[in-house]
């Protein structure tokens, strides 16, 4: 099975590589034919220099940064480059109004000034194919029985291949929708410190307006360092820890680039679903995406209103706002691109070919009729689920209750729970209440609760409303068509909950009981929508749908590979937040008639966008002064007599690649990937070979910001710069 699968994978992948720069390739499976194609397009490194488990290779410089980004090691002393938005929460958490590193930027002049964080990073040690072990255990199983057995087997492999004492963690990833399984073995390091970050006006220049757009002028970078204990082993923060001595670190090139240059990106793309069916595309465009966009729009509106009023509130809400806004715009763009390019129709055409091929084949001939029924059964509940997750739980107050007080209620009412488990749930509620209150902005949250409660009433099928909730609301607060009714209700919830009342909270904690919790109006609100309605009535339908979808997806991929491997397209595994490499070229493009986009942006365009005092397009006065003087130093682009800010490539990336290194043919760092372009935001479900571009901050702009703008030449001296 293993040998057949790899042969198929490589033959199909080569076929498609000839057509486009699509593909997020597993370094373990970077076969000779794919490698030859990379060399043909310009790569100068050997296969062993790219990936080797027995000796140091480029893969050893690529890390999982935090919980969902990529970073890279760029010095012999464990220096890390990643995106500003990846370090955003850590920078915001370290900031105060007196030392506002988010607003003003920060650079450590020596290691003693570096700021500890709660971040961790993970290095990939090796990848092992465990497909045979998993598949052998699943013989003859289908449906729920297969799903449960698979989870048990993966958990057992993860446990067997992990070692807590050595900070080694293993996570088996299911690839090709359960047709292949690879074990990724990582080592986690727990002492990560802030070394530098530009002012937010640089690191987030353009804000939401420019997000997912090209041309772009954002200095999206931040700098960290990973430390070890004195013996060079992973360790938690300690004063005597030392900078890590990495196996491999990336040289930094300031030679510049030109249209057509080879570009390679390594990192941890979070998730794609390019083998999705037409049913899934339709669910996304008709229900899921529009619901998410509408509900996030509400949250952003009320948060932004408060952030504009007070710098302290802006700092308090900055990280949450940025996180919500990012994918608000993404899913809006994804829907538009999916519809514009009729991805539904394209999927349908391929499925018709598959259905014709499947006739007379017992394993596949009923696959699509059964799949259609599965979607039809779930679609009527899909909107309600989105309105619970993005609406009801979109309130920070409700999110806290759902994460910590619902579990607390469970241990209080369930017989046979040990004192230790009760104490654990109580301690979690106490600790996270403090964190919640530190970040809570009542005015915006109250409005979010009011408006999402109203939208649930208006948009979700009345048969799926929590029983009695809206009738009681009408009797006590007024007409359900009146916005004021919901605001009165939300104000009551906020004023009467014990979560904001220290005395009542302390009394509850001193003698925790389920009745007191259940009587709380905020807890009661979430229970009505979530526990007593969604979880008890509709979650089982979602679980059944998810299980069926996984099983049908596995069979579909298996069938495609049997049907016609030579003509099968996009036969690389979907992104699963596992290490991948993509390759392509620096490349300009024409998004529409009579419009041409150059492959770089420069300081000239930065000045054109600059608006003094603007929320999104302001810049430090010193930066404007230096640019007007053309004080670019060694970082100037000689062909343009300017400072290059950003550039675009044809590389295939997705969320999780934020912070990924963009490398030239010699494996030298030329930029940091941080975004995709609006014209190709369908990329999670469908890659656009003509319009897809990755947006990157040029490493020369990063170094200029550190050196000229930040005055931190000590950081520059630590790098291996190739001129």
**Which residues carry out catalysis?**
85, 220, 658
Q: How far apart are CA 505 and CA 41, in angstroms?
A: 64
The contacts of residue 251 (CB under 8 Å, 6+ apart) are 666, 667, 668, 669, 720, 721, 722
Q: How many residues does the chain have?
A: 723
Q: How far is CA 203 from the centre of its chain?
A: 18
Which two three-digit tokens encode residue 461? 């099928």
Residue 53 Rama label (left phi>0; alpha psi -120 to 50; beta)? alpha
Q: How far is CA 117 from the centre of its chain?
A: 20
Exposure on the CB side of residue 565, measured as CA atoms within 13 A: 15
Q: How far is CA 586 from the centre of its chain?
A: 24
Question: Nearest CA to 56 among 132, 103, 126, 110?
Answer: 126
Burial class (CB in 10 A: 0-12, 13-18, 19+), 596: exposed
Q: How far is CA 662 from CA 241, 510, 651, in A?
A: 30, 55, 9
CB 208 within 8 A of CB 616: yes
Q: How far apart are CA 561 and CA 9, in angstroms?
A: 9
Helix (H) or strand (E) run with residue 228 in it: strand 222-228
Q: How far apart are CA 718 and CA 251, in angstroms?
A: 11
CB 208 within 8 A of CB 325: yes
Which two three-digit tokens encode residue 96? 């105060």
DSSP character string of 582-616: EEEEB--B--STT--B-SEEEHHHHHHH--TT-TT
CB 218 within 8 A of CB 605: no
Tell me the torsion sign for CA atoms 293, 297, 300, 304: positive
The contacts of residue 441 (CB under 8 Å, 6+ apart) are 303, 306, 313, 316, 317, 396
């Amino acid at each position: 099975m293993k040998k057949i699968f790899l042969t198929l994978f490589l033959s199909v992948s080569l076929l498609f590589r000839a057509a486009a720069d699509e593909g997020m390739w597993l370094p373990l499976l970077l076969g000779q034919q794919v490698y030859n194609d990379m060399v043909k397009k310009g790569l100068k490194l050997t296969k062993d220099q790219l990936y080797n488990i027995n000796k140091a290779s480029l893969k050893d410089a690529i890390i999982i940064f935090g919980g969902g980004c990529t970073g890279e090691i760029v010095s012999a002393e464990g220096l890390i480059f990643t995106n500003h938005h990846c370090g955003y929460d850590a920078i915001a958490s370290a900031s105060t109004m007196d030392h506002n590193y988010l607003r003003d930027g920060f650079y450590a002049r020596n290691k003693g000034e570096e700021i500890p964080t709660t971040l961790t990073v993970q290095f990939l040690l090796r990848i092992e194919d465990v497909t045979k072990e998993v598949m052998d255990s699943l013989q003859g199983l289908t449906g729920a029985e297969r799903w449960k057995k698979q989870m048990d087997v993966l958990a057992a492999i993860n446990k067997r291949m992990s070692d807590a004492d050595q900070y080694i963690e293993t996570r088996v990833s299911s690839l090709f929708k359960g047709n292949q399984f690879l074990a990724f073995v990582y080592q986690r390091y727990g002492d990560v410190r802030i070394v530098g970050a530009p002012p937010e006006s640089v690191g987030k220049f353009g804000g939401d307006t420019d997000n997912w757009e090209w041309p772009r002028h954002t200095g999206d970078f931040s700098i960290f360092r990973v430390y070890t204990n004195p013996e060079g082993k992973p360790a938690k923060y300690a004063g005597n820890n030392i900078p890590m001595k990495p196996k491999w670190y990336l040289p930094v090139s300031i030679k510049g680039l030109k249209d057509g240059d080879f570009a390679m990106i390594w990192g941890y793309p979070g998730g794609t679903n390019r083998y999705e069916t037409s049913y899934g595309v339709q669910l996304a465009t008709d229900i899921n995406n529009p619901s998410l966009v509408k509900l996030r729009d509400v949250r952003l509106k009320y948060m932004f209103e408060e952030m504009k009023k007070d710098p302290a509130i802006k700092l308090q809400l900055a990280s949450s706002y940025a996180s919500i806004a990012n994918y608000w715009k993404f899913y809006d763009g994804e829907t538009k691109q999916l519809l514009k390019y009729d991805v539904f129709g394209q999927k349908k055409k391929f499925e018709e070919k598959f259905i014709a091929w499947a006739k007379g084949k017992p394993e596949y001939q009923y696959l699509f009729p059964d799949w259609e029924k599965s979607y039809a059964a779930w679609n009527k509940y899909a909107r309600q689920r989105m309105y619970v997750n993005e609406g009801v739980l979109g309130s920070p107050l409700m999110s806290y209750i759902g994460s910590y007080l619902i579990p607390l209620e469970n241990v209080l009412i369930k017989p046979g729970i040990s004192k230790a488990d009760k104490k654990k749930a109580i301690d979690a509620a106490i600790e996270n209440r403090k964190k919640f209150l530190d970040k809570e902005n009542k005015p915006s949250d109250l409005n979010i609760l009011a408006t999402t409660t109203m939208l649930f009433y208006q948009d979700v099928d009345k048969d799926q409303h929590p029983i009695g909730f809206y009738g009681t609301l009408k009797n006590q607060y007024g007409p359900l068509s009146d916005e004021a009714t919901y605001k009165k209700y939300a104000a009551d919830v906020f004023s009467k909950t014990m979560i904001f009342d220290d005395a009542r909270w302390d009394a509850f904690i001193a003698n925790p009981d389920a009745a007191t919790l259940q009587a709380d109006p905020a807890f009661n609100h979430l229970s009505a929508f979530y526990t007593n309605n969604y979880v008890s009535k509709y979650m089982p339908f979602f679980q059944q749908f998810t299980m069926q979808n996984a099983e049908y997806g596995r069979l579909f991929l298996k069938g495609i590979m049997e049907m016609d491997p030579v003509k099968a397209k996009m036969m690389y595994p979907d992104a699963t937040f596992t290490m991948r490499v993509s390759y392509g070229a620096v490349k300009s493009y024409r998004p529409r008639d009579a419009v041409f986009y150059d492959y770089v942006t420069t300081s000239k365009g930065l000045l054109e966008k600059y608006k003094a005092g603007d929320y999104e397009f302001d810049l430090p006065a010193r930066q404007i002064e230096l640019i007007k003087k053309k004080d670019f130093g060694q970082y100037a682009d000689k062909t343009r007599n300017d400072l290059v800010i950003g550039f675009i490539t044809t590389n295939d990336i997705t969320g999780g690649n934020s912070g990924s290194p963009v490398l030239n043919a010699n494996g030298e760092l030329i930029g940091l990937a941080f975004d995709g372009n609006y014209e190709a935001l369908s990329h999670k479900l469908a890659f656009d070979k003509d319009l897809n571009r990755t947006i990157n901050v040029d490493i020369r702009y990063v170094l200029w910001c550190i050196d000229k703008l930040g005055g931190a030449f000590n950081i520059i001296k630590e790098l291996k710069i190739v001129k």
